[in-house]
Amino acid sequence: MSNPLSLLQQRHSVPSRQLGEPGPDAATLATLLEAAIRVPDHGKLEPFRLILLQGQAKLDFGHRLAELSLRVNPHMADAKREKDRTRYDFAPLVIAVIARIDASSTVPVIEQQLSAGCVAYNLLLGAGALGFGAQWLTGWAAYNREATAILGLKDNEQVIGYVHIGTPQIDVPDRERPVLAEVVSTWTP
């Protein structure tokens, strides 16, 4: 019998620059997205939405962010400028995971953000289960309002992350993981 936790025990990110074609086809993507949105959702608010970035639109988005970055920081080093310009060039699919915050709800904002975060994590797990690689990134473009305006975000929305999905172009070694005894304790009164 196979280990039912092996997906979690072997989960790791593949650097976005090491993700290439092929990405998920339309049917596989629909299945992945349907699975990804099955998350804890206190109050059934659906405090998330997804924006797919693919093909030329993905490249255009990356170039618009690079232009904004240069405008905000005109003295940026050439290497940083190039990194910003090509950030979205590699993985065939990037999914912007958006938290939609309902400030009038009794559900705390952090729970709404965490629900959207679970969507991002489900995308990572689901991509891995389907044989793809993925990486969840944020960076300045997740927190800058001019950058999020490029995506058309409303005032009550924020980027939780950009999940890059594709086929790993290299074998990625696992990184050192936390020592269980250092992060687990038992509370006693």
Question: Was 38 annotated as part of a binding site?
Answer: yes
Residues 16 and 63 sit within 8 Å (Cβ to Cβ): no
Question: Was 75 annotated as part of a binding site?
Answer: no
Question: Was 13 annotated as part of a binding site?
Answer: yes
Determine how many CB atoms are found less than 10 A away from the CB of residue 14: 24
User: Alpha-carbon distance 181 to 133, whole Å?
Assistant: 29
Calculated CA dihedral for residues 17, 121, 126, 90, nearest 10 degrees: -10
Question: Was 175 annotated as part of a binding site?
Answer: no
Question: Was 81 annotated as part of a binding site?
Answer: no
Question: Was 85 annotated as part of a binding site?
Answer: no
Task: Report which DSSP code applies to 40.
Answer: -
Question: Was 138 annotated as part of a binding site?
Answer: yes
Where is the binding site for FMN, in residues? Answer: 11-13, 38, 42, 136-138
Where is the binding site, in residues? Answer: 11-13, 38, 42, 136-138
